[in-house]
Amino acid sequence: MSKKGMLCALFVLVLCSMLALAISGKSRFPLINKVVATVVMPIENALVAIGNTGDNIRGYWRALTVLQSENKELKKENVDLRNANVAMAAIYAENKQLRELLNYKEQHRTQTTRAAKVIARNFGDLRDSMYINIGKDAGLKREMAVLNGSGLIGVIDEVYDDYAKVLLITSARCKVGARVLRVDSRAIGVVNGRSGIRDTLIMEHIFREANVKKGDVVVTSGYSGSHPENILIGTVADVRLSNVGLLQEADIVPAADVADVEHVLVITHFTPEPKVDRKLQGGQAK
């Protein structure tokens, strides 16, 4: 053994001896006790501190693991609640549309209607056309009126065995006979969509002397015979002379939002209303 090793061994031996003497008789060797306390206590305190630090670290990691687990569960619950809210909102919107359709059927018992669900849209132009899940099998024919609880949606454009294409009222290709629903107005015209303008229809071919003003309610005239009169189309937003100056035209805000419809009614048969004096009819409607 080297000299350095021997000195270390001797130091440890002396230290152990002094520690033994201190333990066996504290009162008999106060000087030794003091020396041992001076040498050993710092080491003991350091070891205790290291032990406490280890315990603290282990406690921290245990707490961190618990927090991470709880955070994961809370995130999952948050996602579940968000999905549930979305599902509830969808159910509420669907039920609202179905209730509106039911109310329409109850208020128009002289009309035969078939309920349908929107199954596809023209993604090239969402305001041009859409498809519904009934067709010839449900008695559908071209030009039949399609509506929801808010008003006219469009007309049947193409009919297949078990589905049909609906030309929306917002399409520039859709033309519907219309009139102003007011006691002192006899204004009639044709309503169709406007190319490049999303949220307004246009009512054209209104006689120059016809009484039309902003805020007037516009409904179907029923003159074509393909659909009944008095289906709500929209409200007049502006009136002006046409380019040639011989007729009037009016901007119409549609009553129904064709971009937000999932369920519709198709009027397959109706009893035409008796033709009465327009002023009397307007007064009753008002």
Judgement on whether residues 265 and 212 belong to the same structural domain of the protein: yes
pTM of the model: 0.66
pLDDT along the chain (286 residues), means of 10: 60 58 51 56 61 67 78 79 73 73 81 94 87 96 94 96 96 95 91 81 94 96 90 96 89 92 94 56 36
Residue span of the structural domain in which 51 resides: 1-107
Judgement on whether residues 99 and 165 belong to the same structural domain of the protein: no
Domain count, the chain: 2
Q: Return the structure tokens found at 262.
A: 């999932």
For residue 91, the model assigns a pLDDT of 74
Judgement on whether residues 98 and 232 belong to the same structural domain of the protein: no
- Tens digits of residue pLDDT in 40-56: 566 656 655 666 666 66
For residue 57, the model assigns a pLDDT of 73
Q: Return the structure tokens found at 91.
A: 């159910």
For residue 27, the model assigns a pLDDT of 46
Judgement on whether residues 22 and 54 belong to the same structural domain of the protein: yes
Cα pseudo-dihedral 256, 260, 262, 263, rounded to 10: -10
Q: Please name the residues in contact with 198: beta carbons below 8 A apart, sequence gap of 6 or more.
A: 127, 170
Final residue before a domain boundary, out of 107, 136, 152: 107
Angle of the 30-107 helix axis to the 3-24 helix axis, nearest 10: 90
| DSSP, residue by residue, 24-59 | H-TTT-HHHHHHHHHHHHHHHHHHHHHHHHHHHHHH
Final residue before a domain boundary, out of 45, 74, 107: 107
Judgement on whether residues 208 and 226 belong to the same structural domain of the protein: yes
Final residue before a domain boundary, out of 57, 85, 107: 107
Judgement on whether residues 102 and 146 belong to the same structural domain of the protein: no
